[in-house]
Structure 1
């Protein structure tokens, strides 16, 4: 048993980069997750959808992706990685570079309905602040989004 654990530890060290690449989702994955979530929200309504979006073992968690939902005033109404954010307003909260990411989501939702934003955010999988590219889409009075952590 000790030999097996040692071999697994060595394999993890040697293949760390490959493993990291395997658990990281792409921006295209994030967009597809949002589109799937939007369809689910339209079909099942807010209560059921928001509960499912926050289910850590549910279909809306993929690799390092999760969903977030904000109302058009910047208040979080669902968050797949950090449910403690729900009920709090993030409209004027900035990332480390000063980007008001929630404000950008809201403006994008109000003006174009859907699109991409870039900012820096703590990755719950690594615990590190990393660049992130997020896709958001407006559904009535909320926006649904997901973002992929990137290297750029």
Structure 2
């Protein structure tokens, strides 16, 4: 009986040693990645871009609510203010009427009052027309290529999100997604990405 107990004790010690060794050995490094945002038919936003699509949508939605509560005159004054409450990091609100006339553009005020419906982006897409078309449906996205002032006006892919305020005008904002060369090498020439979540 004593021999059985000793054998059992040795087995328990060996088992416990193996169990402890397995629990305390170095675990493999855990690799984490930054989630990139991807819309069907587009390039992903670059890693390191801290503005999510949800934040972009929320930002524009809050601006639409502000415009509907305060009226167009007060809202447009606030949206055109480069130090106003609708400047959040890389995000700012722009406003257009459905004819393509700029109503608010805080960092490019010389464009306010200018009709840009037939103006093309850096790769030849009718970006204001596409944004307007998306907004006519209520809300939507559009990809276009535009100089990024934070990167010495280098042309970059930009994802714009727009919402209709009423039948006369719409608001939007956008996030840059990296150099245009990256987008074009993936075979993307279309600038419309309408109504993607």
Q: TM-score, normalised by structure 2?
A: 0.62
**1:146 to 2:173 alignment:** yes
- 1:65 equivalent to 2:81? Answer no
Structure (1 or 2) with the greater helix fraction: 1
Whole-angstrom distance in 1 between the partners of 2:51 and 2:112: 24
Cα RMSD of the aligned pairs, angstroms, is 1.7
Aligned residues: 131
Report the counterpart of residue 74 of structure 1 in structure 2. 100
Cα displacement (A) at 1:109:
2.0
Q: Where do 5+ consecutive residues of structure 2 fail to align?
A: 1-47, 184-197
* Conservation of the 8 A alpha-carbon contact between 1:27 and 1:147: no
CA distance in 1, matches of 2:112, 2:121: 18
TM superposition shift of 1:107: 1.5
- Tell me the equivalent position of 2:41: none
| CA shift for structure 1 position 100 | 0.3
**Runs of 4+ deviating beyond 6 Å:** none
**Any residues of structure 2 matched to 1:30-109 within 5 Å, and which?**
30-109=56-135
Mapped to 2, the partners of 1:149 and 1:26 lie a distance apart of: 11
**Could you tell me how far apart the structure 2 residues matched to 1:100 and 1:133 are?**
14
Considering Cα pairs closer than 8 Å and 6+ residues apart, tell me whether 1 or 2 has the greater RCO.
1
* Distance in 2 separating the partners of 1:67 and 1:27: 15
Larger radius of gyration: 2
TM-score for the superposition, normalised by structure 1: 0.79
Unaligned stretches of 5+ residues in structure 1:
1-20
Aligned to 1:115: 140
